[in-house]
Structure 1
């Protein structure tokens, strides 16, 4: 006869399930953001643009913090471009970095929606794919760890049960 003790084991399974669910949600969020990027790239028009200045965002923005250093505020490139058949359009990239990824005056490829040229992005890996890859990667890592723990716990549980599963009555 086997007796299953409720409590610690049950709580462990719920925690493992929660970790797997959390990782899966992260992965799904990354996949959705990646799908939005794919849709944007598929439907976007292309143009050449120029970084006209860097907009610094963050605490304690000063002239000394605008050098290429690895901490502090982030620089968001502000880009001007002319869409097909349109007038000069300016947009601020949502992706900022420190050190700045672009210099003032640098030429960049721009992707924009034909129906709304202000909805534009720099055609680069970071601005299009970094966030989806981070979310999908973290999600896979967390869900993978949770799954590995669940499998290891289940195997250990089976080994424990098979090792002491049935008692042989003593003759006497």
Structure 2
């Protein structure tokens, strides 16, 4: 009978769990990338104007300095409200899904708008954050975690120690 010693079984589960978790996040990042590429391939372009900022309060947590207590605070985040004229001549307005503090756009700023001709209400500001931020975050986190898990698995491969016991 072979018995794992030194908690190697638990370590293997942790390593394989990290690889699986990383692969899942990497997969989500790839799907989001595909969605952005698909959107760009069929998107119409229009010139838009930021007509306002929709300020919303969002919860942020911080570590509270040296102590281990976590404080939750609300901070205002500005989401640009953009107006544009679609190819069918109709004036449309949408609120961007990407907000920031300080605001990335001010009222009156001109922006390039991307939208689907068959559903102009699905519009986005043509910018890095609105198109690539989520794919980059999910894909990056997945790549790092899966890479670390794979590196640990490769480094410890062949180092398992089995102890034979006789009955």
TM-score between both structures, scaled by the size of structure 2: 0.82
* Contact 2:86 2:92 survives alignment (8 Å): yes
- Following superposition, the deviation at residue 10 of structure 1 comes to 1.4
Aligned to 2:90: 87
Following TM superposition, by how much is the alpha carbon of 1:156 offset from its aligned partner in structure 2, in angstroms? 3.6
Larger Rg: 1
Unaligned 5+ segments in structure 2 are 60-73, 163-167
Query: Which residue of the partner structure matches residue 138 of structure 1?
Result: 141
More helix by share: 1
1: CA distance, partners of 2:150 / 2:98:
33
Q: Note if contact 2:29-2:135 (Cα within 8 Å) is conserved in structure 1.
A: yes
**Does the alignment pair 1:29 with 2:16?**
no
Matched, 1:73 2:71: no
3-state SS in 1 of match to 2:93: strand
- Secondary structure of the equivalent of 1:149? helix
Query: Larger strand proportion, structure 1 or 2?
Result: 2
The reply to whether residue 45 of structure 1 matches residue 44 of structure 2 is: yes
Query: Does the C-alpha gap of structure 1 residues 96 and 114 become closer, same or farther in structure 2, counting only changes over 3 Å?
Result: same
Q: How many residues align?
A: 148
CA shift for structure 1 position 87: 0.9
| 1:7 CA displacement | 7.3
Alpha-carbon spacing, 1:124–1:53, altered in 2? closer, same or farther (3 Å): same
- What stretches of structure 1 of length at least 5 have no aligned partner? 61-70, 162-172
Looking at structure 2, the residues matched to 33 and 59 of structure 1 have their Cα atoms a distance apart, in angstroms, of 24
TM-score of the superposition, structure 1-length normalised?
Answer: 0.80
Distance 2:99 2:45 in 1: 21
Give the Cα separation in 1 of the matches to 2:58 and 2:131.
Answer: 26
How much does 1:88 deviate?
A: 0.4
